[in-house]
Amino acid sequence: MATHVHSPELLAQVAGLPAMPGVYRYFDASDALLYVGKAINLKRRVSSYFQKDHGGTRIGHMVGKIVRMETTVVRSEAEALLLENNLIKTQHPKYNILFRDDKSYPYLKISGMAIHDGDLRTPPSQCYPRVAYYRGATDKRQRYFGPYPNAWAVKETIQLLQKVFRLRTCEDSIFSNRTRPCLLYQIKRCSGPCVDHISPEDYAADVAHAEAMLRGETDTLLKALESRMMAHSDKLEFEQAADIRNQIKALASMLHQQSIETIDDRDVDMLAVQVQGGKACVNLAMVRGGRHLGDRAYFPVHVEDSAAIASMEEAEDAADQEAGQPGTVLPAKTVEQRVLEAFVAQHYLQVAPPPVLVVSVALEPALLEALSQQTGTRIAAVSQPREERRVWLEMAQKNAQLQLARLLAEEGSQQARTRALVEALDLPQDDIDQLTIECFDISHTAGENTQASCVVFHHHKMQSSEYRRYKIEGITGGDDYAAMRQVLTRRYSKVAEAQRDAGGAELGKGAARLPDIVLIDGGKGQVGVAREVFTALGLDLSRIVGVEKGEGRKVGLEELVFCDGRDKVYLGRDSAALMLVAQIRDEAHRFAITGMRAARAKVRVGGSRLEDIPGVGPKKRARLLQRFGGVRGVEDAGVDDLMTVDGISAALAQDIYKALH
């Protein structure tokens, strides 16, 4: 019998499950999602969690938290696999291998549609397409190439296109208002379409050739360029022929530098996984259009918990087969296989996979089948590549090893810093992972637009999702003490209220809590303000720690000051504890500065932008900026001045003036 006590309703729900493929989800008492799993036989799989004593294992710890369950019946194992990973990706369960993607992939964009290139009846972005870096949602009215592993890879490709095909990169507003070519034309990185130094037809041909290069059609492209060069030569148009000859030379040089003249694969992803010390790294290297674009490392969370649960499920399947239960039992998977399969399933939910994946460990056929069904294109995985592919994979494996070693070293040093600070402040060392530090900083512009920032540190790293900014109002400009008093009161008044309501008992789950350390970027003055606030709220004064500048305000000479009677503490220039304090303080300062600059930029344009004003389109905006020399000039202009710009009526001038003031 299981030692965990579950409600009769939950056990009845488990008993009534069908013997069909599906996905199950476990929730705890606070309705947080614990685990998402898939099963060929829902009844058998879910029952195994509740019919046995899992003891004090990771599985037992999770099972003890389950108070509610949801299931979804599906038609096939492939459908279950896709639903499972979609839920993992979007719901972030606590016991599944999870890859967090903090930002979307960048693309290279060529504006407009190919069929309208060179058409003078269309806007400049279509007639003379622009090549640009792009990140975000795509649409059918533009051309996108990628995705690329990072911004650097996109920008390097744009530079290649400028060098070989001399495509423009300027904004349409600048393009439409030029009267002479820019510096890029002078250094032969643009063909000067803004001043008609190239015909629409020839520019459209260059765009088409650039697209061919991005698709990896290099042989066809070189033949087309040679044919075009010979045609100009036959017509005695030697200058145009020389330009194309230079394009061919530049393209040939680029192909040689990229070492892609012998590559047959145009679009391939290389995936290598490395596991060590309970951590894992998946390194993704991309080849697009035959070019190796670079790589990107991913570090999943919950690896050990998920691996333990998966091992239990495999053991249950093996036991069922020995007992004569129907079903196919696959060989036990390694942690590397689980991690890589989790990455493939989650990553390619949002990014279209290439037709070939070169992987360091074999993938389950059901996963590839599910991906193929999802994309409508057959996806193949090669786990034992040869020749060029083998070289690529070895590079990806080496990078995965290096990235994981770096992560382990950084985490080790961060833990050492946390422990050093705990020892320096003589804090309890029972669980340093839970040590929480909140740090405050004040910023303003010459006494105006005062903001306070609060950054949070726990589990040995900064927790950016918990950062907060506070707009400070009702104080004398430049009074940092009043600003600190206000932000501390606003931040911790709810903590004081929760402590009073608890009456000395343990605070309930979800209640506001006081951090272990409240770090103040300042000396005795700022710490004195914090003492006043904490005394008024009835909070623990020993939590307050100030960072006072040392002699000559030199870095490394800082001292920690307290308000509970303790003497100052000098940690030492090379102290690991001081490194952590400086890291947190500098992050608070950075966060405050970025918030202050954003507020200042907003104030400078009256809380609005020209783009937001109804009736001011791209052409009128370009005329305004050109006439007054920028947004600041438009803001300084009066209504009568605005009316002198072509297309700006009296009513629109009034609207612009009001919006910017």
Number of residues in the chain: 661
In angstroms, the CA 51 to CA 312 distance is: 13
In angstroms, the CA 337 to CA 361 distance is: 6
448 and 585 share one domain: yes
Least confident range from 119-128, 612-621, 622-631: namely: 622-631
Q: How confident is the model at residue 597 (pLDDT cuts 50, 70, 90)?
A: low
Q: What is the CATH number of the domain that holds 391?
A: 3.30.420
| 319-331 mean pLDDT | 57
| 60-72 mean pLDDT | 89
Q: How confident is the model at residue 2 (pLDDT cuts 50, 70, 90)?
A: very low
> What's the pLDDT at 538?
92
Q: Where are the beta strands (DSSP E) in 233-332?
A: 268-276, 279-288, 291-298
441 and 541 share one domain: yes
pLDDT at 76 exceeding the cut of 90: no
Q: What is the CATH number of the domain that holds 64?
A: 3.40.1440.10
389 and 479 share one domain: no
362 and 448 share one domain: no
In angstroms, the CA 575 to CA 573 distance is: 6
**Cβ atoms < 10 Å from Cβ of 539:** 20
Residue 516 lies in a domain: yes
> What's the pLDDT at 139?
83
Residue 549 lies in a domain: yes
Q: Give pLDDT tens digits for 370-425.
A: 888 888 888 999 998 888 888 889 989 999 999 988 888 877 888 889 988 998 88
Question: Which tokens sit at 7?
Answer: 């409600």
User: Where is the domain boundary, 91, 110, 137?
Assistant: 91
308 and 386 share one domain: yes
Residue 297 lies in a domain: yes
The single residue listed with the structure tokens 């992050």 is: 587
Q: What is the CATH number of the domain that holds 650?
A: 1.10.150.20
Q: Which residues contact 309 (CB under 8 A, 6 or more apart)?
A: 35, 37, 58, 59, 62, 95
User: Where is the domain boundary, 603, 624, 649?
Assistant: 603
Residue 38 lies in a domain: yes
First to last CA, the chain: 73
Could you tell me whether strands 437-445 and 448-458 are parallel, antiparallel, or unpaired per DSSP bridges? Answer: antiparallel
DSSP character string of 549-616: --GGG-TT--EEE-SSSPPPEE--TT-HHHHHHHHHHHHHHHHHHHHHHHHHHHHHTTT--GGGSTT-
Residue 139 lies in a domain: no
pLDDT at 58 exceeding the cut of 80: no
Q: What is the mean pLDDT of the chain?
A: 83
494 and 641 share one domain: no
Question: Which tokens sit at 640?
Answer: 């009568």
In angstroms, the CA 495 to CA 477 distance is: 28
- Assign 3-class secondary structure to 166-186: CCCCCCHHHHCCCCCCCHHHH
The DSSP H or E segment spanning 226 is helix 218-234
Question: Which tokens sit at 520?
Answer: 């103040």
Residue 120 lies in a domain: no
344 and 478 share one domain: no
| 578-604 mean pLDDT | 77
Q: Give pLDDT tens digits for 26-41.
A: 999 888 899 999 888 8
347 and 462 share one domain: no
| 357-365 mean pLDDT | 92
User: Where is the domain boundary, 91, 112, 127?
Assistant: 91
284 and 362 share one domain: yes
In angstroms, the CA 476 to CA 482 distance is: 8
Least confident range from 90-94, 289-293, 434-438: namely: 289-293
**Cβ atoms < 10 Å from Cβ of 645:** 18
Cα torsion 403, 405, 409, 410 to 10°: value is 10
* Packed helices 8-15 and 42-50: angle between N→C axes, nearest 10 degrees: 150
595 and 616 share one domain: no
> How many distinct structural domains can be found in the chain?
4
Residue 421 lies in a domain: no
Cα torsion 210, 212, 218, 224 to 10°: value is -90
> Beta partners for 461?
458
541 and 477 share one domain: yes
**Cβ atoms < 10 Å from Cβ of 565:** 7
% of the chain at pLDDT higher than 90? 23
| One-letter amino acid for residue 376 of the chain | G
Residue 212 lies in a domain: no
User: Where in the sequence is the domain holding 276, given as residue range(s)?
Assistant: 268-325+332-404
| 57-63 mean pLDDT | 81
| One-letter amino acid for residue 567 of the chain | D
528 and 584 share one domain: yes
In angstroms, the CA 322 to CA 474 distance is: 75
